[in-house]
Amino acid sequence: MLVGLVVEGEAGRCEICELKQVEGEASCSSRKGRLIFFYEWNLRLSWRGTVKESGEKHKGSIEIPNLSEENEVDDTEINVSKKKGESDILKELMRTEGTTKVREALRNYLKALKTEFTWGMILPTKAAGQDLAAERKMSGSAVQESASPHLLDLVGVKIPTVKILMREIFKSPADELYSIFTTQELVQKFSKCPAVIEAEKGGKLLMFNGCVSGEYTELVPGQRLVLKWRCRNWPDEHYATVALNFKDMTAATELQLECKGVPASNEDSTRQWWKKQYFEEIHNLLQQSRDDMD
């Protein structure tokens, strides 16, 4: 995430070319249904640059002595230096715009650490498990055995799967909510990650730094979306079928989610993923839009 970062400005062009030193560790544990993170890194990188006017080439280093959960990324120390006797013009470029790009990369690393790395680690407590069992009974969630037809025979992966049913009310017209799932710019806003969104039949879907991928299989604007959908750590070539139905209500929309073919071992984490990474973030995006209008 750091090597290859390019910084350009009026002074010239710089690039982080090598990760010289990596010391530390990152770990995560699940306690009473909550994820507890620990990470502490000491990093040293090298950069090289070219002055725009003269074409002179310079080198330097970047040190990040304490990237840890004790400090916010904005408060993390980032030290930029250069070789002695060389111009400071590129050092200043790296100290300002370069530092901004490094912090952005660190944020992306921490987001990946707390999503992709921890997928499937949230274990329900006894009480939460009882609530989930009741929710399954009400929603009709059921385990599909490996001999079940449908998606498993299609992809040739024989594992126990489940069907997940969820509902969420959004303060948004159905066509606006539909566009949040089919417009690349809006997907990137609520997911806070680069995305590939080809909203047409057979079009690709790639989100959350590649953690989620799939394909659009049915699109009825403002009414219904059907996707092939998978997480990176699922068995190879195994996809769930996600159907999103948008039901117009007075000044709101009810989103009905049906997700068939989820690996049984990933049921809880998949529910959490849709709740936290999709629904809550879309609520935040809609609220931000309302605030901007006000």
Residue 43 is part of a domain; what is its CATH number? 3.15.10.20
Q: H-helix or E-strand containing 193? A: none
Task: Note the pLDDT tens digit of each residue in 205-219.
Answer: 999 888 899 999 999
Taking the alpha carbons of 123, 127, 133, 138 in that order, is the dihedral positive or negative? negative
**What single letter denotes the amino acid at residue 218?**
E
Task: Note the pLDDT tens digit of each residue in 56-111.
Answer: 888 999 999 989 888 888 889 999 998 776 568 899 999 999 999 999 999 888 88
92 and 200 housed in the same domain:
no
284 and 223 housed in the same domain:
yes
177 and 274 housed in the same domain:
yes
Number of structural domains in the chain: 2
| Domain-embedded: residue 75 | yes
Cut 0.75: pTM above it:
no
| Domain-embedded: residue 53 | yes
| Domain-embedded: residue 102 | yes
| Domain-embedded: residue 101 | yes
Q: Residue 10 belongs to what domain range?
A: 5-117
| Domain-embedded: residue 128 | no
Angle at CA 98, nearest 5°, toward 95 and 103? 105
Of 82, 117, 152, which one is at a domain's C-terminal end?
Answer: 117
| Domain-embedded: residue 142 | no
Q: What is the CATH classification number for the domain harbouring 206?
A: 3.30.530.20
| Domain-embedded: residue 131 | no
180 and 94 housed in the same domain:
no
CB 158 within 8 A of CB 146: yes
| Domain-embedded: residue 143 | no
CB 47 within 8 A of CB 62: yes
Predicted pLDDT of residue 45: 94
